[in-house]
Amino acid sequence: MTAIAASTAKTEDTPPEPQSRAVARVGRHRRPELSATGQWLALTGRNIRRMWTSGQFFIAVLAPAIFTIGFYLPLRFVMKFQGIDYAQFVMAIIVLQAMAFTAISAAGKAALEAVNGMNARFQTMPVFAGVPLASRMSASFVHCSISLIAALVYGHIIGFRFNGGIANSVLFVAMSLAIAMTLSLGGDLIGTLSRSPEMTSQALTIPQLILGMFSAGFVPVAQFPTWSQWFVRNQPISQFSISLRAIADGTATLHLMMPALLWCTALFLIVTPITIWANVRRQ
């Protein structure tokens, strides 16, 4: 009993363990520090896995094949009689349609997250503002990269070639991806505000088809009616097609590419701040 009493007294007289030592002892149970980079990587991986399981990567490879067959086969003989290498001519619009298709996919993802409450849930969690948008754009970049590679492979099969060297080939890819990401930002904005995947897809598909068909991507501007040539020549799809075609052929100049660069820059500067606002605002 004496020993037990002495031990108890010793315990009571012992000063409490310093706080720093106690924290060190349970350090492995401390709350993890928040990291915007870590959140971005986690959400990007989530979006990519969802795209894989939903078959969007398969569609990213299939869609350019459909565009290639649908655009090249009907007009190749007609253009051949006019002395136009149609595989070289039509490749730009095939790439642009594939990039526009990825923008529609981006709009669908944004609309789905808005309608199922995921955006509202992110706002109640310790998630850095802008991380969900950045992760969706990263997944869209992967999507459009796969679609661009597929389009170039199909273009090579029908006879398309880069005649401007490696530098122009890199410029062609860079400009295609820049256009794709600008369109994806716009698609994300529309999807976030509409909150309807079905309506978003329909709303984006119709303008894409109309501007695509009424552009210099399929036939030269001179073959359109005189009254429409001004619009056909100066609308963005035509300017993107003309610039990409010149880059691939090695005949691009800054003067020729300036309208396309201005269109892309203007769209990016207009869409980006509105898209950020739509994603960080409280719902």
pLDDT, tens digit, 9 for 90 and up, residues 181-200: 999 999 999 888 887 777 77
Q: What DSSP letter does each residue of 118-150 carry, written as one string?
A: HHHHHHHTT--TTHHHHHHHHHHHHHHHHHHHH
Check if the beta carbon of residue 279 is closer than 8 Å to that of residue 192: yes
Q: Given a cut of 70, is residue 14 above it in pLDDT?
A: no
Percent of all residues in the chain with a pLDDT value above 70, rounded to a whole number: 86
**How big is the chain by its Cα radius of gyration, in Å?**
27
> What tokens appear for 90 in the block?
């039509």
- Could you give the CA distance from residue 233 to residue 230 in angstroms, rounded to a whole number? 5
Give the pLDDT score at 283. Answer: 54
Could you identify the residue written with the tokens 């669908």? 108
- Span 261-269, mean pLDDT? 95
> What tokens appear for 161 in the block?
């070639």
pTM passes above 0.85: no
Q: Given a cut of 50, is residue 169 above it in pLDDT?
A: yes
Identity of residue 223: Q
* CA dihedral of 126, 130, 131, 135, whole degrees rounded to 10: 150
| Average pLDDT value over all residues in the chain | 84
Of the CA atoms within 13 Å of residue 85, those in its CB half-sphere come to: 13
Q: Given a cut of 50, is residue 26 above it in pLDDT?
A: no
Check if the beta carbon of residue 163 is closer than 8 Å to that of residue 250: yes
pLDDT, tens digit, 9 for 90 and up, residues 235-251: 999 999 999 999 999 99
